[in-house]
């Protein structure tokens, strides 16, 4: 019996943004991203590549006010699509962890596809949240993106910045570490029968 495809297409439209997103959890990391927020495009492209998730995103919103709404709503939709594509989570590895450097920056991420949303996010240097990366993406949005993905996908995620000076490097190391940990967690494990939980559901 062929395993169901782990794909999802989710749309969201508000007075602040319009988002349409398609993903395939069993892809090769191919992506086509246009959120109108260049640094966020860069981060989502890295997420797709390093998590081996095919990802297409088309977003637009009131970026003349701030990138916040467009970035947040895109992250919400990404989380919703992940949850939908995972289905009943049968056969997954469930847990993943990664330690990823980017020059002087070093980030660690641990993911549990638990069905219980929880984010622990630590270690970003003082002032990081105020820095404009690329002149438009506020450092505080990094944590906000992880919050939106985590709570909408039903993941338990720990992200810890262990070292770093350049804000671009720090943010990118965080996204890549999350991607690599998620890649392990979502992977189908041939040794797992059913849902990997003593409760029988995730």
pLDDT tens digits for range 169-197: 999 999 999 999 999 999 999 999 999 99
Cβ count within 10 A of residue 160: 17
- The two tokens of residue 31 are 């992506």
Kindly report, residue by residue over 26-37, the tens digit of the pLDDT.
999 999 999 999
In sequence order, what are the beta bridge partners of 138?
A: 132
pLDDT band at 2 (very low <50, low <70, confident <90, very high): low
Torsion sign, CA atoms 172, 174, 175, 177: positive
> Given this model, what pLDDT does residue 64 score?
92
Q: How far apart, in whole angstroms, are the C-alpha atoms of residue 35 and residue 76?
A: 13
Task: Locate the domains of the chain by residue range.
Answer: 7-186
Of 163, 153, 160, nearest in space to 98 by CA: 160
Q: pLDDT grade, residue 124 (50/70/90)?
A: very high
Q: Average model confidence (pLDDT) for the chain? A: 96
201 — pLDDT class (breaks 50, 70, 90): confident
Domain 7-186: CATH superfamily, name plus number: Imidazole glycerol phosphate dehydratase; domain 1 (3.30.230.40)
Poorest-pLDDT segment among 80-89, 121-130, 193-202: 193-202
pTM equals 0.97
Helices marked H in 11-139 — which ranges? 38-51, 68-86
Q: Nearest CA to 9 among 55, 71, 60?
A: 55
Rg over alpha carbons for the chain, rounded to the nearest Å, is 16
pLDDT for 61-84, tens place per residue?
999 999 999 999 999 999 999 999
| CB 119, CB 147: distance < 8 Å | yes
Whole-number Cα distances in Å, 156 to 2, 124, 166, 167:
29, 19, 27, 25
């Amino acid at each position: 019996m062929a395993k169901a495809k782990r794909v999802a297409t989710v749309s969201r439209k508000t007075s602040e943004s319009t988002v349409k997103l398609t993903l395939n959890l069993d892809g090769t990391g191919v992506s086509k991203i246009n959120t109108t927020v260049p640094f966020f495009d860069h981060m989502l492209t890295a997420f797709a590549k390093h998590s081996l998730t095919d990802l297409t995103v088309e977003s637009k919103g009131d970026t003349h006010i701030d990138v916040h709404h467009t970035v947040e709503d895109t992250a919400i939709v990404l989380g919703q699509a992940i949850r939908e594509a995972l289905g009943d989570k049968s056969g997954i590895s469930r847990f993943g962890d990664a330690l990823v450097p980017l020059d002087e920056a070093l980030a660690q991420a641990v993911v549990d596809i638990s069905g219980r949303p929880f984010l622990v996010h630590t270690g970003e240097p003082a002032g990081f949240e105020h820095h404009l990366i690329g002149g438009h993406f506020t450092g505080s949005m990094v944590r906000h993106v992880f919050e939106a993905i985590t709570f909408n996908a039903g993941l338990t995620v720990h992200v810890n910045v262990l070292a770093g000076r350049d804000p671009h490097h720090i943010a990118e190391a965080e996204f890549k570490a999350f991607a690599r940990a998620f890649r392990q967690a979502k992977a189908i494990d041939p040794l797992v029968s059913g849902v990997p939980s003593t409760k029988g559901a995730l």
